[in-house]
Structure 1
């Protein structure tokens, strides 16, 4: 017999996976994943922020965020621009296309 803690943990993991599958199915026609959507939604709420700040707000590590931003840029939903106050970093901004998608999906 499984302990209550393990049963709750197992159920939580299954529910999370099921919700992710449902969301990915809903987002598929827009060629975007739940991971990309969470970053785009965060950008929509706080435009022109540093990649580091976006990483913290979207709760993504830097390597994962870089890959997500590459895909969002490829689809025209976001762009990177040099940070005028720090040459080593970029400001991430949502494009009009990204804002439209965010409004449609929100």
Structure 2
């Protein structure tokens, strides 16, 4: 899938260069670039309490914002209202050089 998303040929090797690792409950986020810094990527793993990875999401050349979705009481009616709290945002390594599409990941 990475070759399709990045346009790399089968002969080209791709070396991941992680820049940061963050964890939010059962979600682990790793972001980085390739060595020449021409491709930006984010991996989102869902991990069980036993440390088993149950889901992997992979994003290439995409700015990612992670939000925690919950409910809060409305002060006027005591009806739970949806609430989204941003907890993490991509730190784009070449923000001045590239404009990337944005995506919101709800956890």
If the TM-score is normalised by the length of the shorter chain, which range does it land in? under 0.3
TM-score w.r.t. the length of structure 2 is 0.21
Whose RCO is larger (CA < 8 A, sep 6+)? 1
